[in-house]
Amino acid sequence: MSRIKKLLMVVVALLLLAVGGLYLYKDAAVRSGVIASGDQVLGAESTTLDSASLDLFGGGLALRGLKLNNPEGYQQPHFGSECGSGQSGGHRCAAIPSYCRPCCRR
């Protein structure tokens, strides 16, 4: 019986270490996933991301320094890089959702 208890304690300890490791490296895993997915959808090396922060208990995700390169033929080199005033005095980022354009927030 004591041998089973020791084995069970080792399994529980390894499980706790694995969960703790996943919790510590969750932000790096999210960053890698965002970059890999963006590159797969938009083309090789088209996505850059400085950092990601995942809040498991609050349900939040922050992506800092996300840059999506447009494919050839687009006027702007990066998605959302047209921030600023338009020629007619309007805001040129109006069509981009606010959560995608932090440089355009007022």
User: In whole numbers, what is the pLDDT of the chain averaged over residues?
Assistant: 77
With b meaning 16 or more CB within 10 Å and e meaning fewer, what string describes 44-53?
Answer: eebbebeebe
- In angstroms, the CA 104 to CA 97 distance is 10
Q: What percent of the chain has pLDDT over 70?
A: 73
Give me 83's structure tokens.
């921030």
Say how far apart CA 2 and CA 86 lie, in whole Å: 75
Residue 93 has pLDDT above 70, yes or no: no
Is the per-residue pLDDT at 65 higher than 70?
yes
